[in-house]
């Protein structure tokens, strides 16, 4: 992590995330689907940096589909 990357990702003036629900109108009782709005939160800039650094791996033939598969691959290293 370079000094400029650290300064970019440092959480300064961050806001709490906002949670709201969208109704599932096709279900009985109309339950809510939880939505978390994380723009401007403490880890927003860190996630942008990681997405930028990892975007080249999307073209890779080996893509991790879920967290469980990722953990298994790490254990096999």
pLDDT of residue 65: 77
**Model confidence, pTM:** 0.53
Domain that holds residue 57: 3-75
Q: Which of 11, 1, 7 lies closest to 40 in space, CA to CA?
A: 11
- The CA–CA distances, whole Å, from 1 to 4, 6, 68 equal 8, 6, 27
Question: What beta strand segments (E) does the chain contain?
Answer: 18-23, 32-37
pLDDT in tens, the chain (77 residues): 889 988 888 888 888 999 999 999 888 999 999 999 988 898 889 999 998 888 877 666 677 778 888 888 889 88
Q: What is the pLDDT of residue 34?
A: 94
pLDDT of residue 36: 92
Number of folded domains that form the chain = 1
């Amino acid at each position: 992590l370079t000094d400029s990357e650290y300064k970019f990702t440092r959480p300064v003036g961050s806001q709490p995330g906002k949670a709201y629900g969208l109704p599932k109108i096709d279900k009985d009782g109309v339950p809510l689907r939880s939505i978390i709005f994380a723009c401007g939160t403490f880890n927003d800039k860190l996630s942008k940096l990681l997405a930028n650094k990892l975007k080249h791996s999307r073209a890779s033939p080996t893509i991790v589909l879920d967290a469980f598969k990722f953990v298994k691959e790490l254990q096999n290293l």
